[in-house]
């Protein structure tokens, strides 16, 4: 266990997620970087010399999310910061899109946010403090032609963040939805 503050980044892919892992580690935090395929993040983890650790996690699976939080807490300490950055997107017109594609994008983009946010809140509420961040995009505010598979989950994730902020703020937990394009 570490005496440093712990962050968990779910959806720590090679783009924004990896940048967040590097940023938090650079700020002196220990970081659990969670993604479906941790091998993708090996160069980032190695470069951080023990400040971060990669974990496999399917954000759409409640048991996998619970396992991530248990493992990260045992290895690094309970998180004071959790970021949900996972997402899926299939650019297609509404007439060409399938229900399966929309459901998969929604499960990763919105249901996963619920599962991660709920698990984070369960840890943070007894402590009376913590921060939960959800990353969004312009699609969180308005849909565009060919972007329903992104807009639907991002709208839902923003609503989740707003609801959680109103419920958990009085318990010392800061919840925010941040638009990053």
Q: What is the pLDDT of residues 78-135, one digit of tens each?
A: 999 999 999 999 999 999 999 999 999 999 999 999 999 999 999 999 999 999 999 9
Alpha helix ranges (H) inside the chain: 16-26, 42-47, 62-76, 99-106, 112-127, 148-168
Residue 2 reports pLDDT greater than 80: no
In 98-114, which positions are buried (b, 16+ CB within 10 angstroms) versus exposed (e)? eeebbebbbbbbbbbbb
In degrees, to the nearest 5, what angle opens at C-alpha 111 toward C-alphas 83 and 76?
35
Calpha distance 65→52 (Å, rounded): 18
pLDDT per residue as tens digits for the range 76-94: 999 999 999 999 999 999 9
pLDDT per residue as tens digits for the range 142-165: 999 999 999 999 999 999 999 999
According to DSSP, residue 6 is labeled E
Query: In whole angstroms, what separates CA 24 from the centre of its chain?
Result: 14
pLDDT band at 3 (very low <50, low <70, confident <90, very high): low
Is residue 127 within 8 Å of residue 78, measured between CB atoms? yes
């Amino acid at each position: 266990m570490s005496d440093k503050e712990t962050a968990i980044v779910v959806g720590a892919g090679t783009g924004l997620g990896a940048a967040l892992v590097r940023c938090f580690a650079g700020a002196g935090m220990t970081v659990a970087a969670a993604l479906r395929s941790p091998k993708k993040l090996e160069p980032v983890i190695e470069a951080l010399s023990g400040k971060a650790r990669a974990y496999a996690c399917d954000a759409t699976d409640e048991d996998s999310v619970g396992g991530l939080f248990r493992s990260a807490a045992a290895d690094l300490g309970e998180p004071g910061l959790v970021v949900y950055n996972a997402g899926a997107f299939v650019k297609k017109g509404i007439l060409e899109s399938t229900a399966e594609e929309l459901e998969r994008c929604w499960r990763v983009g919105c249901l996963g946010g619920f599962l991660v946010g709920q698990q984070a809140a369960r840890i943070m509420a007894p402590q009376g403090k913590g921060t939960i961040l959800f990353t969004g995009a312009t699609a969180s505010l308005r849909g565009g032609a060919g972007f329903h598979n992104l807009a639907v989950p991002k709208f839902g994730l923003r609503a989740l963040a707003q609801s959680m902020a109103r419920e958990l703020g009085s318990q010392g937990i800061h919840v925010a939805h941040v638009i990053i394009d």
